[in-house]
Amino acid sequence: MQQNTLWYGADYNPEQWLDRPDILEQDIELMRKAHVNLVSLGIFSWTCLEPREGEFHMDWLAEAIDRLYAAGVCVDLATPSAARPAWLAQKYPQVRRVNADRVRQLYGERENHCYTSPVYREKVRRIDQELARRFGRHPAVVLWHISNEFNGECHCELCQQAFRDWLRARYGSLEAINRAWNTRFWSHEYTDFSQIESPAPHGERAMCGLLLDWKRFVSHQTVDFMKWERDSVREIVPEAKVCVNLMDRFDGFDHFEMAREIDVASWDSYPFWHRPGDTIEKTAISCAMMHDLMYSLKDRPFLMMENTPSFVNWHGVCKSKKPGVNLMTGLQAVAHGADGVLYFQWRQSRGACEKFHGAVVGHDGREDHRVFREAAQLGDVLRRIGRVAGARKKKQAAIVFDYDNLWALDRSMGPRNDGHGLWEEVERHYAALARLGVGADFLPPDGDPHGYALVIVPMLYLMREDLAGRLRAFVQGGGTLVVTMWSGVVDEHDLCYLGDAPHGLTDVLGVRRTEIVPMYDGETLRCVAAGGFPIAEAKAEALCEIAAPEGATPLMVYDEDYMKGAPAVARHAFGAGQAYYLAARFDEGFYLPFYRGLCKGRLAPAWPEPLPEGVLAVRRGAYVFLQNLSDAPVQLSQAALTPLETAIFEDDGSGAYKRLL
């Protein structure tokens, strides 16, 4: 978006302070001191912009934009569709969502409109276009923030009809739907489209194919609504750049599908810092995983659109970030590809449910507050390292992630209904790569593994035939593939593949699944090294597969119960590459040595020397970020790092690292 500038700012709500003109004045002064250069405006401003139907009041926003811009602050202008005025909900009940139990919601809260309602779409288009006409060409407006955190689903009659139309377009005939959903089961065959209903607690919950297609439809409808808003703006300002703010591990729509339709990916990051039992490093890695997913969505820099400078108001216990953590998290986002770091929120509200949410400026309005001082410090650092903006990441390892698979696993009955733990599974692989300083991208199911040295396929229960083909070609061509348990079980309709499994990959992996053994929480199976494998022992948990080797070399085997002797980890040479099979989820200690062995000689770590525990290195283009997330100082060959300190180096290609920070 802008060269040599990292964005820094926050959600800003001047509409909450219209009766206090001194506050806008003070905010602009404080933003200058904190080195803010971008604010998201208007996210929840609809009633101030259109207090009565068709009556637009935009002068207050014009004044705010003009004054901010004069002070060097650009604007990420929001469409206000996430929260609607009461007059609108009252006059047009169809805009209010109907829950799965078929009860229409009352007016209240936010992010709860029907995505199908033509009335809502029309009202949104009107206000979006008024905004675009008035501000779309203002030099301050560098980005459009479409709505806010799209989420949820509606089951009204309009949505039911849209679902049926979507199915008709996807399948062509009822016959095809009946086949895809295996509706002969329990005599559920449909004879007319009008019989198809969305899932309901008092209705359909058993047809996995229908449940999966409903999720796909909701995803489609959410993206379609976003496109409606985007195109409303672009009709007036064709060059408008749009973003949406996404959420942590959110499953409400396919993020890759959404990303295709936007210019910039962004997300709202609210990790649980300082939770007893979790190290800073663990929390940071879990957060980094989402950064890397966001980067992967468009394979280019993203924004951390929201994070708190201190605490949220909605965790069980709303702990504040301790000194130094805010600086560290801001720089961590940049290390992983963020071109901007923004907060929710600039100034703390006085009332309603977010009055105790952290903000850069608190109720006391003071700049000598720790939170403000630390925010200003980060602003200063980002200003100094602006040259990092735009830097791209090199392809190293990829983790295949498919939202269809997540939805299908969530809705499958058995083999383990106490949580399949897909995110946990993904995180264990990711964390090991992060600790090794190896960059990881997320690859959608239609993505191309070409260009990666290592591809990981964690629990890909729903495996599309074409993907299996691409993975096979990848190994054949010399790639290294890791496939875990419970992969290649069903096709895209959630129909079980018939024949040997993991479907499409048995010859690549050199194993054939014979049983899947679900484990109770806390239950484990001991595994031991076979041959000279360097990991002597590991514990298998959650889901443990038993497989018959068909050419693969067991590297570890189960060492107890009736699966004793069956491969827990196996390797198979296929074409010019190698395929690894992990029969179970293992204890966290397994993954680091496993991936260290795999990466050695194949993937260069971000930092050339071995790093002590708690120190993470991330490479972004020519820049290497080193962060000491341990609670002790560390001494490296080129840097001494205090706890929570970040060092940034620029690699000029000669092997010499110049320290920028």
Is the Cβ of residue 273 or residue 580 nearer to ligand GAL in the bound state? 273
Cβ neighbourhood burial of 278 (10 Å; 0-12, 13-18, 19+): middle
Mind spelling out the 3-state secondary structure of 462-499? ECCHHHHHHHHHHHHCCCEEEEECCCCCECCCCCECCC
Count of Cβ atoms closer than 10 Å to residue 299 Cβ: 14
CB atoms inside a 10 Å sphere around CB 351: 7
Catalytic positions are 149, 306
Q: Could you tell me the two tokens for 598?
A: 């795999």
Shortest Cβ 246–ligand GAL spacing (Å): 10
Cα–Cα distances (Å) from 4 to 164, 340, 382, 383, in that order, read: 49, 12, 10, 9
CB nearer to ligand GAL: give 299 or 354: 354
| Residue 253 binds to ligand GAL (criterion: CB under 6 A) | no
Contact map string, positions 122 to 161, toward ligand GAL, x by CB under 6 A: --------------------------xx------------
Residue 99 structure tokens: 């829950």
Give min distance, CB of 354 to ligand GAL, in A: 6
For residues 264 and 143, the answer to whether their CB atoms sit within 8 Å is yes
**Angle subtended at Cα 27 by Cα 13 and Cα 34, rounded to the nearest 5 degrees:** 110
Residue in 217, 201, 2 with CA at minimum distance from that of residue 100 = 201
Question: Which amino acid is it at 546?
Answer: I
Structure tokens at 116: 């199908």
Lookup: tokens for 205: 């919950």
Q: Is the peptide bond before 93 cis (omega within 30 degrees of 0)?
A: no
Q: Give yes or no for residue 344 binding ligand GAL (CB under 6 A).
A: yes
**Cβ atoms 471, 501 nearer than 8 A:** no
Residue number, 355 or 394, with CB nearest to ligand GAL:
355
**Distance from the first to the final alpha carbon of the chain:** 24
Which of 277, 354, 362 minimizes the C-alpha distance to 314?
354
**Residue 268 binds ligand GAL (CB under 6 A):** yes
| CB within 8 Å of 301: residues ≥ 6 apart | 295, 337, 338, 339, 389, 390, 391, 392
Tell me the site size for ligand GAL, rule CB under 6 A.
9
CA atoms within 13 A on the CB side of 303: 32
DSSP character at residue 274:
T
The reply on whether position 319 binds ligand GAL by CB under 6 A is no
Q: Which is nearer to ligand GAL, 13 or 116 (CB)?
A: 13
* Nearer to ligand GAL among residue 312 and residue 398 (C-beta): 312
Name the phi and psi angles at 441, rounded to 5.
-105, 165
SS3 531: coil
Site for ligand GAL in 170-229 (CB under 6 A): none
Show the binding pattern over residues 347-366: x = contacts ligand GAL (CB under 6 A), - = does not: -------x--x---------
- Least spacing, CB of residue 105 vs ligand GAL, in Å: 19
Q: Which amino acid is at 597?
A: G
The pairing of beta strand 567-574 with beta strand 480-484: unpaired
Nearer to ligand GAL, 237 or 247 (CB): 247
CB of 153 to ligand GAL, least distance (A): 18
Nearer to ligand GAL, 19 or 109 (CB): 109
Looking at 182-276, list the stretches that DSSP marks H as alpha helix, in order from N- to C-terminal side. Answer: 208-236, 255-259
Instruction: By CB under 6 A, name the one of 15, 306, 559, 650 that touches ligand GAL.
Output: 306
Distance CA 275, CA 295 (A): 27
Instruction: Rank residues 268 and 339 by Cβ distance to ligand GAL and give the closer one.
Output: 268
Q: What angle do CA 628, 634, 636 make, to 5 degrees?
A: 100
Stated as kind and residue range, the H or E segment containing 640 is strand 640-641
Nearer to ligand GAL, 54 or 351 (CB): 351
Contacts 24+ apart (CB under 8 A), 613-616: 613/281, 614/279, 614/280, 614/281, 615/641, 616/281, 616/284, 616/285, 616/288, 616/434, 616/435, 616/437
Return the residues of window 374-393 that contact ligand GAL according to CB under 6 A.
Answer: none
Q: Which are the contacts of 549, defined by CB distance < 8 A and separation ≥ 6?
A: 510, 511, 567, 570
Least distance to ligand GAL from the beta carbon of 315, Å?
Answer: 9
Nearer to ligand GAL, 182 or 286 (CB): 286
Kindly tell me which residue out of 60, 87, 193, 270 binds ligand GAL, with binding defined by CB under 6 A. 270
265: left (phi over 0), alpha (psi -120 to 50) or beta: beta
The answer for residues whose C-beta is within 8 angstroms of residue 520's C-beta and 6 or more apart is 418
Which of 317/498 has CB closer to ligand GAL? Answer: 317
Residue found by looking up tokens 């096979």 in the block: 472
C-alpha–C-alpha distance, residues 123 and 89, integer Å: 11
Closest CB to ligand GAL among 314 and 520? 314
Locate 359 and state its tokens: 């903000």
Work out how close the CB of 305 gets to ligand GAL at its nearest, in angstroms, rounded to a whole number: 8
Rounded CA separation 81/290 (Å):
26
Give the residues lining the site for ligand GAL (CB under 6 A): 148-149, 268, 270, 306, 312, 344, 354, 357
